[in-house]
């Protein structure tokens, strides 16, 4: 039985990661054309081409700038909102949580179209300016917010509410108490929320498609390649992104386990 369950696990992981491995392997394919199905030797040429291609790098830069700003702003706003919601009475909290969850269950296309209509309406008021970076960032903050709130809320609930009062008793003013006591307690939730917001923003297509105006993000750029065919440069780029995120996650996890060990040691000493 144990063997069977292990085989089952292996299959699950295989199906989860096989596409990514195929993508990585074909980023090293040495084909003169753009074949994605015939292997013809190892080469790094798609990587060199990638770094010569200003259009892809432009799109990547836009995507990263938007994701970064959207992640930071939505984390700050979301954490503040979560703390505010945490302080509400039961009935109000329920209503507010439902309202914030609404954008998550709302089909993306509805969010996208309605945001576009709003932005176009406002843009007309400002003398028919083009949508672009600003409207994209605003849209991304909007759809990232509920995810941040949702990941911070449980941490807040786990926290002993008297900690904050105790900090104030011991001489902290409210601001200091928040930064010294509350924030470190809910930090894992905040970080998870931020990473989630960042990744959601990077790969969002539908909402960006409607609100992008004359700015192009990476997913839109890749989608526009579909009449011809998607260049293996995109495989190379995806490999690099995948690698970077892997390394970041590894660092995060190692750090966390180290922190835990330090804490345990301190407990033992005490």
Partner 1 sequence: MKKWVAALIAALMMTVSICPSAFAAGTDEKPAAAKTGVTINVYNWGEYISNGVDDTIDVNKEFTKKTGIDVNYTTFDTNESLYSKLANGGANYDIIVPSDYMVSKLIQEGMVEKLNFNNIPNFKYIDKQFLNPKYDQTNAYSVPYTWGVVGIFYNKKYVTEPVDSWKILWNKKYSGKILMFDNPRDSFGIAQKLLGFSYNSTNSEEWEKAANLLKEQKPLVQAYVMDQIFDKMSSGDAWLAPYYAGDAATLVADNPNIGFSIPTKEGTNFFVDAICIPAGAQHKKEAEAYINFLCDPEIAAANVDYIGYSSPETAAKKLLPAETVNNPIFYPSESILKKSETFVNLPEDTNLLLDTLWAEVKMGGPGQTATLVVVLGGFLLLYIGIVVYKKIKAKRELQ
How many residues in the chain?
Answer: 270
If binding is defined by CB under 8 A, does position 231 make contact with partner 1?
Answer: yes
If binding is defined by CB under 8 A, does position 2 make contact with partner 1?
Answer: no
If binding is defined by CB under 8 A, does position 131 make contact with partner 1?
Answer: yes
What's the rounded Cα separation, in Å, for the pair 19 and 184?
38
Q: Which of 188, 199, 182 is nearest to 64 (CA)?
A: 199
Judged by CB, which is closer to partner 1: 15, or 121?
121
Kindly give the interhelix angle for 133-158 and 54-86, rounded to the nearest 10 degrees.
Answer: 40
Single out the residue of 1, 3, 105, 128 in contact with partner 1 (rule: CB under 8 A). 128
If binding is defined by CB under 8 A, does position 11 make contact with partner 1?
Answer: no
Q: Residue 85 in 3-state DSSP? A: helix
If binding is defined by CB under 8 A, does position 51 make contact with partner 1?
Answer: yes
Judged by CB, which is closer to partner 1: 100, or 112?
112
The structure tokens 């979301």 sit at: 78
Q: Which of 193, 221, 202, 214 is nearest to 65 (CA)?
A: 202
If binding is defined by CB under 8 A, does position 225 make contact with partner 1?
Answer: yes
Q: Which two tokens stand for residue 38?
A: 């015939």
Residues that bind partner 1 (CB under 8 A): 31-38, 49, 51-55, 57-58, 60-61, 64-65, 68, 72, 116, 119-120, 123-124, 128-131, 135, 184, 187, 191, 194, 210, 212-216, 220-221, 223-231, 244, 248, 251-252, 255, 259
């Amino acid at each position: 039985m144990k063997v069977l369950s292990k085989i089952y696990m292996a299959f699950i992981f295989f199906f989860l990661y096989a596409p990514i491995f195929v993508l990585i392997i074909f980023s090293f394919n040495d084909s003169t054309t753009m074949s994605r199905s015939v292997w013809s030797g190892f080469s790094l040429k798609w990587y060199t081409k990638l770094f010569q291609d200003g259009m892809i790098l432009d799109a990547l830069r836009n995507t990263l700038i938007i994701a970064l700003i959207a992640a930071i702003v939505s984390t700050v706003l979301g954490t503040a909102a979560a703390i505010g919601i945490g302080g509400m009475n039961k009935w109000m909290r329920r209503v507010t949580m439902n309202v914030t969850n609404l954008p998550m269950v709302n089909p993306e296309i509805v969010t996208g179209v309605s945001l576009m209509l709003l932005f176009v309406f406002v843009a007309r008021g400002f003398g028919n300016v083009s949508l672009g970076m600003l409207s994209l960032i605003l849209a991304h903050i909007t759809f990232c917010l509920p995810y941040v709130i949702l990941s911070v809320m449980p941490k807040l609930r786990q926290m002993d509410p008297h900690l904050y009062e105790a900090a104030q008793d011991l001489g902290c003013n409210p601001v200091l108490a928040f930064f010294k006591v509350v924030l470190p307690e809910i930090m894992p939730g905040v970080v998870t929320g931020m990473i989630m917001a960042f990744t959601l923003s990077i790969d969002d297509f539908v909402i960006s498609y409607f609100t992008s105006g004359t700015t192009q993000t990476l997913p839109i750029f890749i989608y526009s390649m579909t009449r011809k065919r998607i260049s293996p440069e995109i495989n190379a780029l995806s490999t690099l992104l995948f690698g970077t995120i892997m390394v970041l996650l590894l660092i995060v996890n190692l750090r966390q386990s180290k922190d835990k060990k330090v804490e345990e040691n301190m407990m033992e000493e005490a």
